Amino acid sequence: MVAPYKSPTSHHPELEQQATQQLLIAAASQKKPKKGEESGDDWLVTYADSITLLMAFFVLILSVSDINQEKFEAVNQSLNTSLLNKKAAEVINPLTDLQSKLSEVLMAYEINPLEAITLQDNDLRIDLPGEVLFGSASAELEPNSQNLLSEVAKELRDFPLPNYSIEIEGHSDDDPINTIRFPSNWELSSARAISVLKLFMAQGVDKDKLKAIGYADSRPKVDNRNQFGEAIPENQKLNRRVEIMVSKNAFE
C-alpha cells in the first residue's frame, strides 16, 4: 500500500501558511502600468518580487530542515579537538628533546643541568664553568673537559638543526691578565671559545653553523666586585665561563 503524499512542510503548518501568504502578496503586487503611465520604476517591482520569492524559498527550506543536535555537537567537538591538537603541536619547542639529551650528558659529569641549561622559545643556552674546562690563565682544554665537550658536540651534531646556528662565547672575570700569549682578557676569552669550536669541528659539527666570540668581562652574570670595589671571588668564578648558544636563525 502506497503511503499518502505529505507536503515537505506538513510538519510546519505555520511556516507553510507564511510562505503561501508571501507568494500571494508577491503575485498581487505585480501591476502593469496603465497606458501612457511612466514605467521607469518597473525594475523596483521586479526586484521586490525577487526578494520576496527568495525569502519564501528559504522559509520552505527551513521548514523541511531537520537538524540533529547530537550529531551537530559531535562534529563541533571533533573539530575543536582537532584544532586544539594542531595548535598544541605547533607550539612544541623542537629544542626540548635536545635539552633532555644534554641534561643527561651534564649529569654524568656532575654538572646540574637546571643551573647550566636555559631553554627559551628560539634558543638553548649551555653555561659551562671555566674551571671545569681550562686551567688558570689557559686556553688549553683539560682532558676531562674534552670528553665532556665531545659528548655535547655529538648531541649537537646528531640533532636535526637545519635552521639553527651554534655560537660559542668565551667570558672572563675582571681581573686583568697580561701575558705574551694573552695581553688582555679579550684574547683569553676569544682563545677559549675557539678551542671549543675546534673540538666541535673535530667531532663533525657543521662548521657553517659554528661561530666563536670572546666577550672578556663585558657581560658578567653577576657583579665581580662589591660597592667598595673589592673583588667577590665567588662571583668572579661564576663569570669565568664558556656559553654555548643554539639559536634559531632569524630569517629562516
Residue 20 C-alpha cell reads as 503561501
The Cα–Cα gap between 216 and 170 comes to: 7
The domains located in the chain, with CATH, are: 13-31+43-90 (no CATH), 95-248 (3.30.1330.60)
| Grid cell 507553510 in the structure block, residue | 16
What pLDDT, on a 0 to 100 scale, did the predictor assign at position 2?
Answer: 44
The Cα–Cα gap between 124 and 100 comes to: 11
The neighbour count for residue 203, using CB atoms within 10 Å, is: 16
List the one residue out of 205, 96, 97, 99 whose CA is nearest residue 150.
205
pTM metric for this prediction: 0.64
Residue 107 has pLDDT above 80, yes or no: yes
List the one residue out of 141, 122, 248, 150 whose CA is nearest residue 193.
141
**pLDDT, average across residues 87-107:** 81
What pLDDT, on a 0 to 100 scale, did the predictor assign at position 79?
Answer: 62
- pLDDT tens profile 137-157: 999 999 999 999 999 999 999
Residue 223 C-alpha cell reads as 657583579
